[in-house]
Structure 1
Amino acid sequence: MTTLLLPDISRQATWSVSSSKQGLGVTNLTGHPHQNTDTYWQSDGQQPHSITVKFPTRQQIHSISLYANIDKDESYTPCRIRILSGTTQYDLQLVKDLMLEHEPRGWIDIPLNDHQQESVLMAHLVVVELPLNYENGRDVRVRGLRLLAPPKNDHLFKTKKILPFTTPEYFMYDSFR
């Protein structure tokens, strides 16, 4: 599914980062949908670097999109991305551990569902951990990050089979009047 069909829920959250260089903080991550990818967050501390996104209520999260560019950032570019989620920092569980196969040059879409279940992640807290960079770099740069919810339109759920329930009996009772 293309991320264009998915609502961006990033602005509903409170954001924090493990560390940052002066002037290159968390506000550079959370722009509008067509944000300027010339700005970036840069860490300034020990690895693993992390971005923490906390929602006031539990949210359905379909996927995360991260913008990285090896041509501009070289050794600052992450090559491993770990996604953890939970209700607080004390019950975080690993959702994804992704080692990038190709050098990134743009948006990296990270679906958070199990390909067999096609479900969505429910979480108050999401942590994007960046433990490893290309060329053994220490600090990391991320030029954009978006958290995307499932489509709002029920028709997309049914036709794209995002929900595991597809029987006519289920769809008879799938909405309130």
Structure 2
Amino acid sequence: MTDVDDLSDKRDVSSYGHWSVSSYKQGFGVDQLQSDSFEHYWQSDGPQPHLLTIKFPRRIPIQQISLYLDFKQDESYTPSRLSIRSGTSFQDLHELKLIDLDEPSGWINVPIQEDPDTESSKPLKTQLLQIAVLANHQNGKDTHIRQIKIFGPPLRSIFEVEGFPAFSSVEFQMHSTIR
């Protein structure tokens, strides 16, 4: 898993989706989860599994999901087992990854690709993404997730053609688009 700061080949597509959660305690909802502060977090309120759903207006390519978790601060509220699911609607959701975590602290980066059984690095195109918290450390009931970011491939210039290098200088990039 890579450091979240190594994003030269990715762009944040988190804001393109409509986010919802299965439950939350007052003052600890989606807005806190999307905050850029690690002091804010989503806290669920109810029976497991706790669900976080992101619905995009159209199919969008996804390369990586990054979650910020902090076992030292959250202890029994820290997820220990996650399921990442994808589909075009709730009726065709399928599990992409099942992740077991052991006292995570910091960014957990989960690469997402079209076909996980091959070496392909093609991004997954999805319209509905769901993260399910199946279990917490120390058998905790509610969960804390401090941040989630969703990354897709970078936007390409209309002048980038396969076999030709992309413009790398700022001056060339400024003149690479049609007005």
- Measured against the shorter chain, the TM-score band is 0.7 to 0.9
> Is 1:123 matched up with 2:126?
yes
Residue 22 of structure 1 corresponds to which residue in structure 2?
A: 26
Give the match's secondary structure for 1:90.
helix
- Name the larger-Rg structure: 2
Report how far residue 153 of structure 1 moved.
4.8
Do structure 1's residue 144 and structure 2's residue 162 form an aligned pair?
Answer: no
- Report if aligned partners of 2:3, 2:109 keep a CA contact under 8 Å in 1: no
Q: What letter matches 2:15 in structure 1? A: R
Q: So what's the TM-score if we normalise by structure 1?
A: 0.81
Secondary structure of 1:82's aligned partner: strand
Report percent identity of matched pairs: 41
CA distance in 1, matches of 2:53, 2:111: 18
Aligned partners of 1:153 and 1:111: how far apart in 2? 20
CA distance in structure 2 between the aligned counterparts of 1:2 and 1:66, rounded to whole angstroms? 11
Match of 1:44, SS state, is: coil
Cα offset, 1:152, TM superposition: 2.9
Could you tell me which residue of structure 2 aligns to residue 164 of structure 1?
A: none
User: Alignment partner of 2:60: what SS?
Assistant: strand
1:150 Cα shift?
Answer: 1.5
Following TM superposition, by how much is the alpha carbon of 1:172 offset from its aligned partner in structure 2, in angstroms?
5.5
Gaps of 5+ in 2: 165-179
Counterparts of residues 154-169 of structure 1 (less than 5 Å): none
Residue 90 (structure 1) aligns with: 91
Distance (Å, rounded) in 1 between the aligned partners of 2:156 and 2:73: 37
Deviation at 1:103, TM superposition (A): 1.4
Q: Is it true that 1:9 corresponds to 2:13 in the alignment?
A: yes
One-letter amino acid of the structure 1 residue matched with residue 106 of structure 2:
G
Per-residue deviation at 1:104?
0.8
Corresponding residue SS for 2:12:
coil
Gap runs ≥5 in structure 1: 155-169
- Are residues 40 and 2 of structure 1, via their aligned partners in 2, closer, same or farther at CA, if it must alter by over 3 Å? closer
What are the Cα deviations for residues 68-112 of structure 1, in whole angstroms up to 9, with x where unaligned? 100000000001111001000111011111112x31111100101
Structure 2: distance between partners of 1:144 and 1:126: 16
CA displacement 1:121-145 (0-9 Å, x = unmatched): 1100000000110000010000001
When normalised by structure 2's length, the TM-score is 0.81
Q: How many angstroms apart in 2 are the aligned matches of 1:75 and 1:2?
A: 25
Kept in 1, the 8 Å contact 2:66–2:109? The answer is yes
By how many angstroms is 1:151 displaced? 2.8
